[in-house]
Amino acid sequence: MWLYLAALLGLYFLRRWYRERQSVEKLTEKYVFITGSDSGFGNQLARQLDARGLRVLAACLTQKGAKELERVTSDRLKTTILDVTSTENVAAAAEWVKGCVGNKGLWGLVNNAGIGIPAAPNEWLTKDDFAKVINVNLLGLIDVTLHMLPLVRAARGRVVNIASVYGRLACIGGCYCPSKYGVEAFSDSLRRELHPFGVQVIIIEPGVFRTPILNNVEDNFWKAWSQAPSHIKECYGQQYLEDLCRSCQLLCKGASSDTYLVTDSIEHALTTCYPRTRYSAGWDAKLFYIPLSYMPTSLADSVLTYFMSKPDQAV
């Protein structure tokens, strides 16, 4: 019996390997719009797809980021300035993209723009703190998607949303995890709605990588602590803050620098004839976070609480 199961499993992976090797035709004629291209995954992906010959439309938050990206890429790549929290800005970007793609439509929409702070235990934050992150990571993503969908549908293309393993397992308090849980939910419903139109929706779930989104997280803990009411400080205590900071230091220290694992997953989602519904990027995602997300809640809570309360012993 086990031999038959192993054979079936082997055939399944062999079939998947064969299907995923088949590339989309005429890639050099395909347009891909990427948000958050100033730095991190978005910047690396824009350069990677440009080198592959695709027609990249890169949205940057700053003029400096746009000029630097143009400097290191080909003339095919075009940039625009985009703040995803501004509906007027998003609408203008959609018109710009429409002018660039013409009748070809938009083959790929990559929703990559995101921020990580404010981040701290929930009780240390305010509603405005949550709104700041959710406006970028979730509502901005939704706004961009809704404006670009007619162009993606015209090309029978793909929507690639950058979520996180923290959208499957809320390992930290604060705003980031709720925003990424929302990305997962929006993507799932969108995938089913767009299936009849030949549009595919793909979710990328990176583990922890060394990108600008990790910058200043520990400093933000101290800032949130300093601004918290006195009764909060008395309740949690200084030791709680110090353990939290040590956990953050270990998390950042263990973060992978192999960011190509994420951009390769996005590239595959855009270029293969048969993309996966979800891509987990990074060994921590594959071997720790995602398996733990399927475990009983009590077990997941115990593991994560231990890592937070005793970070030195949990290494």
- 220 in Cβ contact with 117 (< 8 Å): yes
Strands 200-206 and 278-281: parallel
Is residue 166 flagged as an active site residue?
no
Q: Cβ neighbours of residue 180 under 8 Å, at least 6 residues apart?
A: 137, 138, 163, 164, 166, 167
Q: H or E element: which one contains 81?
A: strand 78-81
In the three-class reduction of DSSP (H, G, I as helix; E, B as strand; rest coil), residue 56 is classed as strand
Distances (CA, A) of 241 to 40, 120, 124: 28, 10, 11
Go through the chain and tell me how many residues it has: 315
* Active-site entry in 31, 166, 176, 279: 176
| Residue 28 CB coordination number (10 Å) | 9
Helix, strand, coil shares of the chain, percent, nearest 5, are 65, 10, 25
CA–CA distance, 146 with 193 (Å, rounded to integer): 13
Q: Give catalytic residue positions.
A: 176
